[in-house]
Structure 1
Amino acid sequence: MRPIRKFLNVYSGLPSSLYVLFAATVINSVGMFVFPFLTLYLTGRVGMTQQEAGFFIMIVNFAYIPANFIGGKIADTFGRKKLMVAAQVLSGLCYIPCGFAGIGGNVRWFLLASVFFDGLTDPARSAMMTDLTTPETRRRAFSLTYLGHNLGFAVGMMIAGFLFEKSTSWLFWGNAIAILAAVSLVALKVPETKPSREQVEASFGSGATDEAHRGNIIQALLSRPYLVMFTILTGLYGFVYAQHRFALPLQTKEFFGARGSVIYGTLMTLNATMVIVLSTPIMALTQRWKPINAVALAGILFALGFGLIGLAPSVLLMYLTTAIWTLGEIVNATNEGTYVANHTPISHRGRFQAVLPLIGGLGWSVSPPVVGWFTDRFGLKTAWPYLGLIAALACIGIWYLGIIENRPGRKLGKARAM
C-alpha cells in the first residue's frame, strides 16, 4: 500500500476545483454509452446501411469544427463556466428523446445537436483546466484528468455493452444522466475561472510564456510559431497513433486469421490496463522533465512500438509492441497538453483550445484513408516501418524545437519581437 500511496500523493495539493473536475470527468466517462456503439445502433436498430452510417459519423465529426470555434470565442468573451453548464445541459437533454420508441431516423438530428453542444464545451473545459493550474501543477492536473477519463471509460464500456443488448433506451438515458450529473458538480462546486481584465493587463510585458496578446486569433497564433510547429509535429504522432484502430486490427487478422479479432481485443485490453495502472507512476517519474523533452521521448516509443509491428507474425511481438506504443501514449497524453497550456496566451486560452486541436487532429483524420491507400498497393506489413519513420522524424523535430527554444535571447514559444 505504501508505494501506491506514494504515487497517489503526487496529486495532492492541487486546487479543490480540480478534484471536482476529476470527479466530473469520471462520471461523464462512465456514462459515455452512445458513441462507442453508434455504428452498431445505426445499422442494427435504425436500419442504415454501413455506408450511410459511415457518412453520418463523418458529419458528426465535422460538427465539432464550427462548434469548437464558436465555443472558443464564447469562452474567452463571456466565461468558461457559463458556457460549460449551458452547453452540457443542452447536450444531455438531446439524448433523452432518443430513448423513446418511435423516434426512428429522427434520432440522428438529436445526436447531431448533442455533438454540437458538446463541441461548444471542449474549449471551455480545456481553458478552465489551464486557468486553475500553474506551469508547476499542470502536468499533475492533466495526468489526473487523463486517469479519470480512462477509469470511467473502462467501467462505462462494461455497462454500455449490457445496455445495448438488454435495454437500448437506457443507453441514451444513462448517457444523459451522466452528463447532467457531471455538469451539476461543475455548476455547484467550481467557480468561474476566466482571467480578469486586471490579470490579462498585468501579463503584458511579463515575458512569461503565457503572456497575453493584443490582437485576433490569427495574430496570436503567428506570435507563437514554436507552439504552432509543435502542434503540427504532434499531429504526425496522431497520424501514426490512429493506426491502432485501423491497420492494427487488419494486421492481426492477416497474421492470425480467425483468431485475429480475439487477439486484437486482448491487445486493446492490455492498452487500457496499462493506461490505468501506469499513468500515475510514469507521470511521477517524468514530472521533473521539461514537457517538450517528454513528448520527444513519446515519439521514440511510438517509432519502436508501431515500426516493429509487421516484423513477424508473432503474438508475443504484438503484445510487446502494444506495450511500447502504450507507454508512448501515456507519456504524450500528459505532457503534450502541459506544453500547449504553458505556451498559450492568457488572453486567448479558449480560442487556442479550439484551433490547435483542429490543426493537430488533421494527422489523425487523414491517417486511415492515406494508410488504407498505401496498404492496398504495397501491403500491410510494408506500412509499419514507414509509420515508425514518421514518428521518429517528428520526435527529432520536437527535440530540436526544444533546443531552439532554450537558446539565449529567445522567448519560449514566442516570436522574437521585430
Structure 2
Amino acid sequence: MLQTAFQRYINNFRGFSREVWILAIITFINRAGTMVLPFLSKYLKEDLHFSYSEVGWIMVCFGVGSMLGSWLGGKLSDKIGFYKIMIFSLFTSGLLFFVIQFITSFIGLCISMFVIMVVADMFRPAMFVSLGAYAKPENRTRALTLVRLAINLGFAAGPALGGLIIMNIGYRGLFWADGMTCIVAIVIFWLMVKEKKKTAFRDAAHPGDVLTHSVFKDKPFWIFLTTCLITGILFFQLFTTIPLYHREQFNLSEFETGLLLTLNGVLVFFCEMAIVGYVERKNINKIKIVSFGSLFMAISMFLMLINTWAGILIIMMLFMTFAEMFAFPFSNSVALSRAPKGHEGRYMAIYTMSFSLAHILSAKTGMEIIERYGYQANWFFMGMLGILGAILGIWVYRLIQNEYKTL
C-alpha cells in the first residue's frame, strides 16, 4: 500500500521535458539566492538606522517596481520573446545587487529598490510563458507546480543561508550572494536551453483557450484576477501580521513561528504535486479548485478568532497550507489557459501583477485595521474577504461555462 502511494507520488514527476527540469533547477538556485528579501527590512532598520516610516516607503517602492516589472516582462515577452527577457532580467539584476550594497541614502535606496525590482520581476511572467512553450499541454499545471516546489525549496534554504552569511560576513555578503546566484542561474539556462520561437500548444481546440483580441476585454479573466488578488492578500498575512500576532497574543518565539512556517513548506513539498496530479487525472475544473482555496483561506482567518488556545495556530496553518495548494498552482494554469496565441506574456504579466499588488495591500490593510480596531477585527475582515473571493470564483466558473455553450 505504502509502496503504491510512493510510486504514484513519483509518477507525478514523470513526463517533463529536459527544459522544464532546467527551469526548475535555475528557479531553485535563484530563489535560494534571494537572501536579501527576508532580511531587507531588518537591514534597513538595524544596519542603516532608518525609521519605520522610511522603511515603509522603501518597501512601497519595492512593491511598485515589482508591479511595473511584471507588466513590462509580460509585454516584452510577447514582443521580443520570453528567452531574451529571462536572460536580461536575471543577468542585469545580478549586477544591480552588487551595486545596491553601496547605496545607503534614503532617496537613493527608494530609487534603486524600484529599479532593481522592475528589472528582477520582468523574469516572472517570462518564465511562466516559457513553461507554456516547453511543457506539453497535458503537463502544464504539473510543470507550474514543479517550479513552485523549486521556489518553496529555494525559499526554505535561502533564509538559513542568509542568516549564516550575516553572522560571518555581514549584510553586504547577502548582496554578493544574491547577485552571484542570479548570474549563475541564467548562465546555466543560456548554456543548456535553446530559444523556442513559438508556443505551438495554443489553439482554439484546447479546452479553456478562448481567443480574445485584448486582455482588457476579457471580463471572466478580470473577475478571476480579483479572486487571485484576494487569495494573495490573505496568504501574505502569514508574513506580515501573523508573526506579530504570534508574539503579542501567544508569546511565541521567532523559532516557534519559524516552525509553523516550516510546517507550511514541508506540507507543500510533499502534498502539492500529488494534489495537482489527482486533479489532472480526474479532470476536475481548476476554477472550482481555486474557489475552494479562497474558502479554505477564509476558514483559516476565522479560526484565528479563537485567541485563547495556541494549538489553533497549527490547525489554522493546515487550512492555510491546503488553501495555498488549491489556489496558487491552478490559478497559474487558468491564467495561462485564458491567453490567446501571442498574448501569453500580457496575461501572465497582469496575473503576476495581482500578487505584487496583494503584497502591498496585505501589509498596509492588515496593519491599519490592527492599529485602529485590533487583531480580531482584522481576522474577521480577512475571513469575509476570502468568502467574497470564493463567490467570485464560482461566478467566473459559470461565465466560462456559458462561453463554451455559445462556441
TM-score, L = length of structure 2:
0.89
Which digits, 9 at most, give the CA deviation of each residue in 1:354-400, with x for residues without a partner?
22332455344323333333333332123323322221232132124
1:266 is the counterpart of 2:259: yes
Alpha carbons of structure 1 residues 43 and 250: separation in structure 2 relative to 1, 3 Å = closer
Distance in 2, Cα, partners of 1:178 & 1:57: 23
Deviation at 1:124, TM superposition (A): 1.3
> SS in structure 1 opposite 2:122?
helix
Alpha carbons of structure 1 residues 328 and 186: separation in structure 2 relative to 1, 3 Å = same
Preserved contact between residue 224 and residue 393 of structure 2 (Cα < 8 Å): yes
Tell me the C-alpha RMSD between the 2 structures: 2.6
Alignment match of 1:225 (pick from 208, 215, 219)? 219
Alpha carbons of structure 1 residues 109 and 255: separation in structure 2 relative to 1, 3 Å = closer
Deviation at 1:32, TM superposition (A): 1.0
Give 1:12-411 correspondences, 5 Å limit.
Answer: 12-98=14-100, 104-105=104-105, 111-168=113-170, 169-195=172-198, 203=203, 209-210=208-209, 212-214=211-213, 219-222=214-217, 224-257=218-251, 259=252, 261-287=254-280, 288=282, 289-359=284-354, 361-407=356-402, 410-411=403-404
> SS in structure 1 opposite 2:138?
coil
Distance in 1, Cα, partners of 2:228 & 2:68: 22
Deviation at 1:98, TM superposition (A): 4.5
Distance in 2, Cα, partners of 1:141 & 1:159: 27
1:9 is the counterpart of 2:11: yes
Distance in 2, Cα, partners of 1:237 & 1:148: 21
Which digits, 9 at most, give the CA deviation of each residue in 1:142-171, with x for residues without a partner?
110010111122112211101012113331
Distance in 2, Cα, partners of 1:245 & 1:268: 9
Deviation at 1:135, TM superposition (A): 3.9
> SS in structure 2 opposite 1:96?
helix
Counterpart residue type for residue 220 of structure 2: Y
Deviation at 1:345, TM superposition (A): 1.4
Which digits, 9 at most, give the CA deviation of each residue in 1:237-270, with x for residues without a partner?
222222222332232233223x364543332222
Distance in 2, Cα, partners of 1:213 & 1:400: 19
Gap regions ≥5 residues in structure 1:
none
Counterpart residue type for residue 142 of structure 2: R
Which digits, 9 at most, give the CA deviation of each residue in 1:98-144, with x for residues without a partner?
46xx6644677655443221122222112111222344211110110
Deviation at 1:207, TM superposition (A): 7.7
Larger mean CA deviation between 90-99 and 21-30 belongs to 90-99
Distance in 1, Cα, partners of 2:110 & 2:358: 27
Distance in 2, Cα, partners of 1:179 & 1:371: 32
Distance in 2, Cα, partners of 1:333 & 1:66: 21
Alpha carbons of structure 1 residues 252 and 104: separation in structure 2 relative to 1, 3 Å = closer
Alpha carbons of structure 1 residues 250 and 177: separation in structure 2 relative to 1, 3 Å = closer
Distance in 2, Cα, partners of 1:364 & 1:114: 17
Distance in 2, Cα, partners of 1:77 & 1:9: 37
Deviation at 1:4, TM superposition (A): 3.3
Distance in 2, Cα, partners of 1:360 & 1:159: 26
Preserved contact between residue 27 and residue 185 of structure 2 (Cα < 8 Å): yes
Preserved contact between residue 90 and residue 183 of structure 2 (Cα < 8 Å): yes
Which digits, 9 at most, give the CA deviation of each residue in 1:262-287, with x for residues without a partner?
54333222222222222222223333
Distance in 2, Cα, partners of 1:382 & 1:231: 25
- Percent identity among equivalent residues? 21
Preserved contact between residue 207 and residue 411 of structure 1 (Cα < 8 Å): no
Preserved contact between residue 67 and residue 357 of structure 2 (Cα < 8 Å): no
Deviation at 1:313, TM superposition (A): 1.9
Counterpart residue type for residue 268 of structure 2: V
Counterpart residue type for residue 269 of structure 2: I
Alpha carbons of structure 1 residues 54 and 69: separation in structure 2 relative to 1, 3 Å = same
Which digits, 9 at most, give the CA deviation of each residue in 1:339-362, with x for residues without a partner?
111111121111222223324553
Alpha carbons of structure 1 residues 367 and 97: separation in structure 2 relative to 1, 3 Å = closer
Counterpart residue type for residue 349 of structure 1: E
Counterpart residue type for residue 70 of structure 2: N
- The total of aligned residue pairs comes to 400
Distance in 2, Cα, partners of 1:207 & 1:323: 35
Distance in 1, Cα, partners of 2:387 & 2:189: 40
Preserved contact between residue 212 and residue 347 of structure 1 (Cα < 8 Å): no
Larger mean CA deviation between 42-51 and 52-61 belongs to 42-51
Counterpart residue type for residue 263 of structure 2: L
> SS in structure 2 opposite 1:310?
coil
Distance in 2, Cα, partners of 1:19 & 1:182: 13
> SS in structure 2 opposite 1:342?
helix
Distance in 2, Cα, partners of 1:103 & 1:312: 43
